[in-house]
Structure 1
Amino acid sequence: MTDLTQDLCRLFARALELEYVTDDTDFYLAGGHSLSALALAVSVEEAVGLPVRVRDILECATPELLAARLAEARGGTAGPGPRTGTEGAPRTAPEPARAPDDDVPESVRWLWLARQNEHGGAGAYTVPCLLRGEGELDVDLLASAVAGLPVRHPALRTVFVERQGAVRAVVTDRTVPLDVVDLRDGSLTEEEFEALVHDRVEVPFDLAEGPLFRSTLFMRPDGAWSLLLTADHLVCDGRSLTVLAAELVAAYRQDGAPPAAPVPGPRPAPRPREESLAHWRDLLTPPPAPLLLPVDRPRHGPAGAVTDTVRLDIEPRVTARLRALAATAHAGLFAPLAAAVASGLGGLTRTDDVCLGTPVDRRSPLGLDGAVGFHVATVPLRLDLAGRDDPAGLVRHVAARTADALDHSEVAFDELVATLDPPRPAGRGPFFDVWVALFPRIDTGPAGPRGIALRGGPFLQRRGMFELSFQFVEEEHGLRLCLQYDTGRYGRDTAEQIAGRVLAELGRLAGEPGAHGAPAQPPSGPPAQAFQGFHFDT
């Protein structure tokens, strides 16, 4: 085993959170996924001084294969195959990244601009998380732990002001109190409790005044309690919620004292932006045609102003099979989920060209692992379904397109739109109308003596930014498909049929007997044979 291979074994083990790996350990079969592959690519790049992409991990998924590719790039031994263009060449004098206005990251600037246009309404930009608490609760100790979060993470005490048409971020000394709602003397049904949470979530944030982060403790009957964390999207994203939950539990165990503030890691040299723009130009030219989605009513106003949600459970058996399929395709669970959405909508709209929108986490290339804030990029995931009827082939295609999206995600979405200038019919977003995302389950582990535990995930809102948003939420056992749909465009029956079709596609990909892509029946939906509600948008 060469020194390079040994170094890669250590880096693979660290990315997989394993004690050790061998030179033939397959990264994905050992539990890797697209985001951990991105972190691995960054760490390998820092160690060897050569550009490494997620696509490299996808194609060379063992330390031995990746070492051969890197040796080839250095001009050493032969690797698994030639690389084209500039991908294998060391970077010299990279083009500097564009300086954002007033030190506001480009992703935040784009989100702020969208917010000014009130796309979807202000409530669409709230990130809520409802966590079920376990353990003997000391309210004062929890309040102290909550107060420590903004101290550790400046994003949670940042406000945004407009100056001469540009956004500027201002870090304040604002604190965040724990708001306590005592429900122990009354009785609430789950529906009533959900409505109460909705009311809390929909209280608007003042971007210029702040704070842009809130916490609410619900003391429920029989000693049960729940914690609602709510933040504006400008200072928080999905992964931030996982970080906050873990830090709350750690601080609680240390008598409310927050852990040390995170230290930004080293950042690799930026890649030339033209390289990524060229990738997107090739992928999105000509631009994808709007999907002829089934609708019940004509378009009026922005998408997602008022939404409702169809929830369908995905059985643990199906989830396990999807994970296995993803691993053999060198992907994480997101790939078969996105494949099912694309395949379901492709069959519904009679097209092989489906473009979905999805978020990708950019913490690793930014050197910000463990940081709270808005560190995601919006990317178009354009998929070619032609001739990809077999599940493995389709998932491999989605995995490859996802890897490419991660590798070229440094281009902000608004810059991509401005550069490529796609057609934008009234009421439609550029490139895609459908959103797909996977939300991992938050679970801080057992409470232990004198400790607490937090378990849960995102709380779905009444407002959104898209006509259709497929949100897959990991549960304790299995998954849940939450289809958030624009009620101004879709009736409940139509949304249930669409969700059912995707559920059936998940079963087909998982090899479930009897799953051949026909619409599945949601528990409360009408029989498919009787459904006559589709009216295709033109």
Structure 2
Amino acid sequence: MTDPIQELCRLFARALELEYVTEDTDFYLAGGHSLSALALAVSVEEAVGVPVRVRDILECATPKLLAARLAEARATAAGARPAPSSHPGPVPESVRWLWLARQGEHGGTGAYTVPCLLRGEGEVDTDRLAAAVATLPERHPALRTVFVERQGSPEAVATDRAAPLDVVDLRGEPLADGSFEALVHARVEVPFDLAEGPLFRATLFLLPEGAWWLLLTVDHLVCDGRSLRTLAAELVAVYGRLSVPAPPSAPGPGRATRSREESLAYWRELLTPAPVPLLLPVDRHRRGRAGAVTDTVVLDIEGRLVERLPALAAAAHAGTFAPLAAAVARALGELTGSTDVCLGTPVDRRSLIGRDGAVGFHVATVPLRLDLSGRADPAALVRHAAARTADALDHSEVAFDELVATLDPPRAQGRGPFFDVWVALYPHIDTGPAAPGGIALHGGPFLLRQGMFELSFQFVEHARGLRLCLQYDTARYDRDTAEQIAALALAELGRIAGEPGAPQPPSEPAPALAFQGFRFDT
């Protein structure tokens, strides 16, 4: 093998956490996904000095193929690298957009809270856990940051404000059905004061028979889903007096930032003409903001189907998100008769900005516009969803509010710009078994009773598989309608995965089921 290919093999192996790979190792078949592809693109770009996109990894998934593409890029780029963006602003654009959104119709609601409920393992010492919790704001400045307004824009201010661990002792009280869930909701829904802080809280619930749960509640301005995994791992390590890697104190080199003009040109081409709002099967007229009051339909995905997803995703050079998004798009197409479905989704930009390992808000909201026409082949649709996701990552420099302001799409009253439906995949948090004298944490997101969208398809990984949590606006949908929509999405997922005997969409409304409460970690 040539030296460039050897270097790429080394970088592939590091991204895949393997000892070695060959020049013909397919990145996705070896376990890669969209986030690890982004990390690989950044590391390759740093090593070779040529811009590398996630799309390049998607299309050239082996070291040998990628080496050939990089050789072509060197010949045409003449070694030029795009200049980093110098867009002014007191906070990152993604944070500024989220802060501005908070000043509008969603301000003051719990829709921007990031709650995580973790089942504890091991005998917990409340003083040791409180001490471990106290280290988190010290290690991560985002958790002691507040946001004050300066001439209509936010300014981040570091403080020394931190909330102590709140201990709720329920060991002597019999718990009625739903009472624990109600207690969690009550704490999750306490609003944060963005200008005063603190914007991070931790609550320990001590239950009968030695059971305990830890609730982490953080404002979205200083936290995202991946941050929660970092916090859980660090809590376990600090509690067990283990060595914890120092978080990045400043942005790393990251990747040469694509010009805003180039990214805007991509979005302008993709979103012009603007997507027509989907004729969603609402039960009532749209009044007021979306998601003011929501409920959730929870459906477990059969284990056999979950087992098929990694191979299906790998064949499309994607992670698990691509077939899930494709299934949601097909379900919405079936419901509305549309072949043009635009979804909203978050993409993680840590590797792009050199903030791997950092706690904070490092995601961008992007429109995922999928063309269902001529894609009767499920595999083709998954590849299409994978390509759109890769392109969204590659062009995520533009904050969503700037995208809306620049393209200025037409909007009907009560509708969002570009999309009304959200889709996301939330990984399971699992710190492994508890070490002697230590603790372990297992769990994931706690579902809110408020949201920002009419429909939010939240695929949540858990200890034994995957479930769909469809959060729906109760002002616009009856529960049986939401159940039909969720069932249709899972039926489409079965058909995409080639599951024998995949259920067909229900022809009549399903009977309303009594809500059995959230299943946190089962």
* CA pair 266-18 structure 1, distance change in 2 beyond 3 A: same
Equivalent residue for 2:516? none
Secondary structure of the residue that 2:327 maps to in structure 1? helix
Q: Is the 8 A contact 1:317 1:478 kept in 2?
A: no
CA distance in 2, matches of 1:179, 1:212: 14
Aligned to 1:138: 125
- 2:468 match: 481
Identify the match of residue 196 of structure 1 among 163, 173, 183: 183
Amino acid in structure 2 at the alignment position of 1:352: T
TM-aligned CA deviation for residue 91 of structure 1: 6.2
Cα 1:369–1:463 change in 2 (3 A) is: same
Residue deviations 1:317-347, cap 9 Å, x none?
1011122111111000000000000000001
Question: In the alignment, does 2:9 pair up with 1:9?
Answer: yes
Q: Is the 8 A contact 2:51 2:81 kept in 1?
A: no
Please tell me the residue identity of whatever aligns with 1:261: P
2:231 to 232, 244, 249: 244
Q: The residue matched to 1:74 in structure 2 has which SS? A: helix
1:334-380 per-position Cα deviation (integer Å, ceiling 9, x unaligned):
00000000000001100100000000000001000000010000000
- Once the 2 structures are TM-superposed, how far is the Cα of residue 519 of structure 1 from its aligned partner? 3.4
- Answer yes or no: is 1:184 the counterpart of 2:174: no
> CA, structure 1 residues 54+261, in 2 after alignment: closer, same or farther (shift >3 Å)?
closer
**1:120 Cα deviation (Å)?**
7.1
Instruction: Supply the AA of the counterpart residue of 1:277.
Output: L
CA distance in 2, matches of 1:147, 1:91: 47
Distance in 2 (alpha carbons) for counterparts of 1:98 and 1:516 = 52
How far off its partner does 1:139 sit?
Answer: 1.2
Q: Contact 1:120–1:303 at 8 Å: present in 2 too?
A: no
CA–CA distance in structure 1, aligned partners of residues 45 and 492 of structure 2: 38
Aligned-residue offset at 1:477: 1.8
Distance 2:507 2:108 in 1: 33
Shift of 1:268: 2.5
For structure 2, which runs of at least 5 residues remain unmatched after alignment?
Answer: 514-522
Q: Percent identity?
A: 78
Equivalent in the alignment of 1:160:
147
2: CA distance, partners of 1:391 / 1:351: 17
Partner of 1:84: none
RMSD: 1.7
> Which deviates the most, 206-215 or 171-180?
171-180
C-alpha separation between the residues in 2 aligned to 1:520 and 1:244? 45
Q: Deviations over 1:254-303 (max 9, x none)?
A: 17x86533244212322211111110000000000000000111111000
Task: Identify which of 173, 176, 185 aligns with 2:160.
Answer: 173
Structure 1 residue 463 corresponds to structure 2 residue 445: no
SS of 1:19's partner is coil
- What are the residue-to-residue correspondences of 1:73-472 with 2, within 5 Å? 73-75=73-75, 89=77, 92=80, 94-102=82-90, 104-119=91-106, 122-254=109-241, 259-263=245-249, 264-472=251-459
Q: For the residues of structure 1 that align with 2:510 and 2:206, how far apart are their CA atoms?
A: 32
Q: Number of aligned pairs?
A: 512
- What is aligned with 2:71? 71
Counterpart residue identity of residue 301, structure 1? G
SS in 2 for 1:101: coil
Distance in structure 1 (CA, Å) of the matches to 2:289 and 2:233: 36
Residue 152 (structure 1) shift:
0.7
On the 8 A contact 2:41/2:57 being kept in 1, the answer is yes
- Give, in angstroms, the shift of residue 148 of structure 1: 0.4
1:33 partnered with 2:21: no
Q: 2:483 aligns with which of 493, 496, 503?
A: 496
Deviation at 1:90, TM superposition (A): 5.3
- Matches of 2:295 and 2:162, distance apart in 1: 34
| 8 A contact 1:146–1:176 mirrored in 2 | no
Contact 2:11-2:40 at 8 Å conserved across structures:
yes
Q: How far has the Cα of 1:425 moved from its partner?
A: 1.2
Secondary structure of 1:339's partner?
helix
Deviation at 1:93, TM superposition (A): 6.6
Residue type of the partner of 2:211? A
Question: CA 1:245–1:321 in structure 2 vs 1: closer, same or farther (change >3 Å)?
Answer: same
Pick closer, same or farther for the CA change 1:474–1:36 going to 2, 3 Å.
same
Shift of 1:449: 1.1
How far the C-alpha of 1:128 sits from its partner, in A, is: 0.1
1:116-136: CA deviation from partner (whole Å, max 9, x where unpaired): 003275200000000001012
Deviation by residue 1:384-420 (Cα, 9 ceiling, x = unmatched): 0011112111100100110000000111101111110
Cα shift at 1:451: 1.4
- 1:374/1:100 Cα in 2 relative to 1: closer, same or farther (>3 Å)? farther
Alignment check: 8 A CA contact 2:488 2:505 kept:
yes
Shift of 1:25: 1.1
Structure 1 range deviating more: 330-339 or 182-191:
182-191
Q: 1:344·1:517 contact (CA, 8 Å) conserved in 2? A: no
Q: 1:163 and 1:518 mapped to 2: Cα distance? A: 52
3-state SS of 2:77 partner = coil
TM-score normalised by structure 2 residue count: 0.95
Letter paired with 2:110: G
Q: Is the 8 A contact 2:50 2:81 kept in 1?
A: no
Shift of 1:522: 10
- Give the counterpart letter for 1:331 in structure 2: A
Question: What TM-score does the superposition give when structure 1 sets the normalisation length?
Answer: 0.92
Match in the other structure for 2:520: none
Which residue is equivalent to 2:59?
A: 59
Distance 1:198 1:181, change over 3 A: same
Cα gap change, 1:91 to 1:211, in 2 (>3 Å): farther
Show the 5 A alignment for 1:515-534.
Answer: 515=502, 517-519=504-506, 525=512
Q: Which residue of 2 aligns with 1:535?
A: none
CA distance in 2 between counterparts of 1:32 and 1:523 reads 39
Deviation at 1:524, TM superposition (A): 5.8
Q: Is the deviation greater in 286-295 or in 503-512?
A: 503-512
Contact 2:83 2:256 in 1 (8 A): no
Letter in 1 for 2:36: S
Report which stretch shifted further, 157-166 or 206-215. Answer: 157-166
